Amino acid sequence: MKKPIAFFVHHQGRGHANRTMAVAAEFARDRPVSVLTAGPHLFEGFCRDIEIVTLPDMIGAAVPTPRLYAEPTPQVMHCVPLGLTAMRRTMRTILDHLDARDVGLFVVDVSAEIALLARIASVPAVQIRMHGDRSDIGHVGAYEACVGMLAPFDERMEQDDYPASLRAKTFYSGGLCTSVDGVLSRAEAREKLGLDPEREIVVAVTGGGGSGTPYAPLTVAARAVPDALWLTLGPTHREGHETDFANLRELGWVPSVTDYLAAADIVVASAGDNTVHEVARVGGRLVVMPEWRYFGEQTRKAEALVRLGAAIQAPVWPGDLQGWRDLVARARTLDGTALRGLYAPDAARRAAGWLEGLTDELWHGATEPPAPPVVAAG
């Protein structure tokens, strides 16, 4: 029997879960797969047979006493409050599952502490690589504790400050996009969506992991470039003083983001992993506006995109008319070729193949533990 592969999946947004499903769907059918997560609902309807283990949701859990709350966080860790019953249950559930299933590889997406826990428990782990300023002892310790890292992006997107020793144990799958909708031509997409075939269209999109695209700057954009149609996909964040304009429409969540991206002349987007690769998949002109994330994750990813000529970026959301006109003019000079090259259609399959191959390599030649001695009845 093949060694099981288990995933720890963070439940903030949908990106971690969607990535896990995309990879797990490519595993051999006789490979046992399990997922440990505080967001089991994110896997509803997944077609592959997997075991779901529900973990406590510790976000916002209260520390029981002021004295416990006052204890400083050790530098080797990031989020380890003291006195939380839910945290003990989480760690116990993870360890019990890894032990009971005799897991061969634990894929952590993402948590430095869980990666360290796996090593302490003598379970080989792989950490999903993310961009950001992660040279602190906590991140480096977690990376060193792992048998490898999986980067779901093109190696050209890697940061210069990522140590060579860690790069050597990192597998780059190429740009992994979890969207599977077919990509239409611009004309086909506009006809399907009932959009003007000739008008310039700018689409602003963000995922579900943050507070949404700031709406106020887009009202300035709509005034600055009034001949364009501005559309927003996903959540938006309003401050309460915005004036709406006829050429700016909030669409919210739509059935097929891909169709709107294909219909767009320019896309304004956050620097989330899947968002960037969705735009790359259609070869769009990308204005990347990173959202705040821990360790500057989206900021560092945006820097990589700009460095490769795959996107343009403004230092901040323009608050004036000329700022938007200049940004749109710069975006029109992009042709999408550099960005399209960062998307790999076979990324999920390549990631799955590497994870399965690594698991089999790690356990090649292992023998079953001897059966406990049978004590004869006296």
Per-residue model confidence as pLDDT tens digits over 338-365 = 999 999 999 999 999 999 999 999 999 9
Percent of the chain with pLDDT over 70: 96
pLDDT, position 58: 86
pLDDT tens digits along 79-128: 899 999 999 999 999 999 999 999 999 999 999 999 999 999 999 999 99
186-340 — its CATH code? 3.40.50.2000
* Across 65-87, average pLDDT: 95
Domain 5-176+344-363 has CATH 2.40.50.140: no
Average pLDDT of the segment spanning 130-151 = 97
pTM higher than 0.75 for the full model?
Answer: yes
Amino acid letter, residue 70: A
- Give the pLDDT confidence score for residue 209 in this predicted structure: 65
The token duo for 64 is 């029981």
- Residue 26's pLDDT is what? 98
> What does the alpha-carbon distance between residue 158 and residue 353 come to, in Å, rounded to a whole number?
21
- Per-residue pLDDT tens digits for 243-262: 999 999 999 999 999 999 99
pLDDT at 335 over 70: yes
User: What pLDDT score was predicted for residue 212?
Assistant: 83
What pLDDT is recorded for position 240?
Answer: 85
The model's confidence at residue 371, banded by pLDDT at 50, 70 and 90, is low
Residues forming CATH 3.40.50.2000 domain(s) in the chain: 5-176+344-363, 186-340
Q: How many residues does the chain have?
A: 378
